[in-house]
């Protein structure tokens, strides 16, 4: 049986692409007692509110028709953002060398957050360069890796 996020990805992908965008991620999470279904989109030059609105309207109709989710939920379409999470191997490949923030489940050397440049990705393990030193984190250590913007 397919996961809800996989079903929604299949429904949404053609609509997102017709609108000149790419589908970055689909998220179905429970927050404060309420379910949220979120599509994160991206586009060369950036996503605007009109992109989100057009995709939201069309995908909402498709979701109503297919009805893949039994419980009530809030549906949102948003930009993947400048500090987006990296999840799939392709995400890591696309942003190799970019500044990232990596968060761990357990403290290492007294901290759980590391800022550096993405240096390698190997089957879930991530390497970042921090101050000239290369650090490797195994898949089961990593809570989150996201792009980092320094202003």
How confident is the model over 118-125, as a mean pLDDT? 96
4-79 and 89-147, same CATH topology: no
Give yes or no for residue 151 having a pLDDT over 90.
Answer: no
User: Cα dihedral angle (58, 60, 63, 65), rounded to 10 degrees?
Assistant: -70
Give the chain's end-to-end CA distance (angstroms, integer).
Answer: 44
Fold of 4-79: GMP Synthetase; Chain A, domain 3 (3.30.300)
- Say what percent of the chain tops pLDDT 70: 99
How confident is the model over 130-142, as a mean pLDDT? 95
Residues in the chain: 151
With beta carbons less than 8 A apart as the criterion, state whether 51 and 41 touch.
Answer: yes
- Map out the domains of the chain as residue ranges: 4-79, 89-147
pLDDT of residue 2: 82
Whole-model pTM: value is 0.82
With beta carbons less than 8 A apart as the criterion, state whether 63 and 25 touch.
Answer: no
Architecture of domain 89-147: Roll (2.30)
């Amino acid at each position: 049986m397919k996961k809800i996020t996989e079903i929604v990805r299949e429904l949404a992908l053609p609509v997102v692409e017709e609108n000149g965008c790419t589908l970055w991620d689909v998220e179905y999470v429970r927050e404060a007692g309420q379910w949220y279904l979120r599509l994160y989109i991206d586009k060369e030059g950036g996503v605007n509110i009109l992109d989100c609105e057009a995709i939201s309207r069309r995908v909402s109709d498709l979701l109503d028709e297919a009805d893949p989710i039994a419980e009530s939920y809030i549906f949102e379409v948003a930009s993947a953002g400048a500090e987006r999470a990296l999840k799939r191997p392709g995400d890591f490949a696309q942003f190799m060398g970019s500044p990232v923030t990596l968060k761990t489940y357990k403290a290492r050397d007294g901290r759980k957050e590391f800022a550096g440049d993405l240096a390698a990705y190997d089957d879930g393990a991530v390497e970042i360069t921090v101050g000239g030193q290369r650090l490797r984190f195994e898949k089961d250590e990593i809570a989150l890796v996201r792009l980092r913007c320094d202003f």
